[in-house]
Structure 1
Amino acid sequence: MVKYLDPENDFGAPRRRKQNPDLAARRQKNAQLPREEALEAARESALRVLDRTAASSGQIRQKLTKAGFLPEIAEEIVNRFCEVGLLDDQAYAAMLVRTRFQERGLVGRALVQELNRKGIAPHLQPEALAQITPEQEADSAQMLAEKKARSLGNVTYPQAMRRLGAFLARKGYSPSQCRQATNAALADREFENK
C-alpha cells in the first residue's frame, strides 16, 4: 500500500503529539488557586478519575500534580480519600494481580513491574502476589505454551524452544517454568530437524 504525504506537513518528520493549549493555562490556574478552592477542584478532579476507573493512590497523586495542583493539595486529597475508603491500594493491588493473571497470564516479575507502574508501594505487593499459587502458575505456563506452540508454523525445534521460552519469560515465568512448559508443549510436535 502506498502512503501519500501531505505537502503541508514536514516530509518524513515524526508526528508530534499536539499540546492542549488549555492544559498549560489550567495548570497555571490550578497552581494559583486559594487553598480551599484548590482542595475543592482537586477533589472534583480526583472523583472524575475514580468515576471512570479504579486507581491507586499513587496514580491519583500523579494525576493531580500533573494537573498543576500543589503536591501538598494532592497529598491531602489522597489521604482523605484513603480515610473514607475511596482509595484502597491493597484491594487495588489484589484486583490488578488477579485480572492480569487471568487475562494475560502475567506472573512474577511481570506482575511486579505492573504494580510498580501503577504506583503500588513495595510493602503491599507480596500479599497481592501471594494470591497466585505455584500450581496455578504451572498450569498457566503450560496452557500458554501449548497455545503459542500451535501458532508457530514451520520452524525448527531450536527456534520453537527459543520463541516459546522468550514468550513465557516476557510473561514473568521463571527459567525452570519456561523450560518445563516448553518441553511439554513441544513433546508431541513433529519437527524436520530435531
Structure 2
Amino acid sequence: MPRRSDEEWASEARSILLRQLALGARSRHQLARKLADREIPAAVAAALLDRFEEVQLIDDAEFARMWVRTRTAAKALSRSSLRRELADKGIDPDLAEDALLQISDEDEHAQARDVVRRKLRGSADLSDRAVRDKEVRRLVGVLARKGYSPGTAFSIVKDVLADAEAQD
C-alpha cells in the first residue's frame, strides 16, 4: 500500500471532522479521539483541530453550555452528573464550571421536585408506613441515578410527599 502524503491525510481527516460535526456538536477531545481511531497522524490531526477551533467549528465552551442546556432539559440531571459527563467529553474543568453556572441551586432543586412529582405513584397509600418507606426509597433512587446526593434527594422527596399529603 503506497504511503499517504500529509495532504492526503489532512483531506481524509477534514472529511471525518466535517461528517462528525454534521451529526452534531462535538468537543475537541471527542474529535481528536475519532481521528486517532481512524489512525490519522497526530501532527496532522492537531493542526486540523487547531484550524477548526480557529474558525470556530470547534468551540468547547459553547459545546459545554449547549450540553448542559440540553441534558438538563431532557434528563433533569444534577450538576454533578453533568460535570462528570463533560469531563468524559474532555471538557476543561473551568469551561465545565462556567457552563454549569447556567443552573442555580434553585433551578436544580425545582427540577428534582418536578421529577419526584412525575414519578410519585398516585395510587400509593402514603398513610401506610411500609408503603411510604418503599416509595421514599424508590424516589430517592430515581434522584440518585440522576446524580443527586442522598441528603438532597431525601430532603426533596420528603418535601414533595408532604405537599402531596397536604393536598389530599
TM-score tier, shorter chain, comes to 0.7 to 0.9
Change (3 A) 1:152 1:169: farther
Relative to the length of structure 1, the TM-score reads 0.76
* Alignment of structure 1 residues 52-67 onto 2, 5 Å: 52-67=23-38
Paired AA for residue 108 in structure 1: R
Partner of 2:19: 48
1:168 aligns with 2:143: yes
Relative to the length of structure 2, the TM-score reads 0.87
**How many positions carry a matched residue from both structures?**
161
- Displacement of 1:176 after TM fit? 3.1
* Alignment of structure 1 residues 78-157 onto 2, 5 Å: 78-150=49-121, 156-157=131-132
Cα deviation 1:67-99 (Å, max 9, x = unaligned):
111122211111110011100000000000011
- Displacement of 1:177 after TM fit? 2.3
Q: Aligned partners of 1:151, 1:93: CA distance in 2, in Å?
A: 37
Q: Aligned partners of 2:31, 2:132: CA distance in 1, in Å?
A: 48
Q: Aligned partners of 1:167, 1:115: CA distance in 2, in Å?
A: 21
| Preserved contact between residue 141 and residue 177 of structure 1 (Cα < 8 Å) | no
Q: Aligned partners of 2:97, 2:134: CA distance in 1, in Å?
A: 35
Q: Which runs of 5+ in 1 are unaligned?
A: 1-27, 190-194
Q: Aligned partners of 1:91, 1:151: CA distance in 2, in Å?
A: 41
Identical-residue share of aligned pairs (%): 36
- Displacement of 1:151 after TM fit? 6.9
Change (3 A) 1:152 1:45: farther
Q: Aligned partners of 2:112, 2:142: CA distance in 1, in Å?
A: 10
Q: Aligned partners of 2:112, 2:23: CA distance in 1, in Å?
A: 33
Q: Aligned partners of 2:107, 2:54: CA distance in 1, in Å?
A: 35
Q: Aligned partners of 1:141, 1:45: CA distance in 2, in Å?
A: 39
| Preserved contact between residue 124 and residue 131 of structure 2 (Cα < 8 Å) | no
Q: Aligned partners of 1:38, 1:49: CA distance in 2, in Å?
A: 16
Q: Which has the greater radius of gyration?
A: 1
Paired AA for residue 144 in structure 2: A
Paired AA for residue 135 in structure 1: E
Q: Aligned partners of 2:123, 2:55: CA distance in 1, in Å?
A: 51
Q: Which runs of 5+ in 2 are unaligned?
A: none
Q: Secondary structure at the match of 2:160?
A: helix
Partner of 2:10: 39
Paired AA for residue 114 in structure 1: E
Partner of 2:153: 178
Once superposed, what is the RMSD of the aligned Cα atoms? Answer: 2.2
- Displacement of 1:51 after TM fit? 1.4
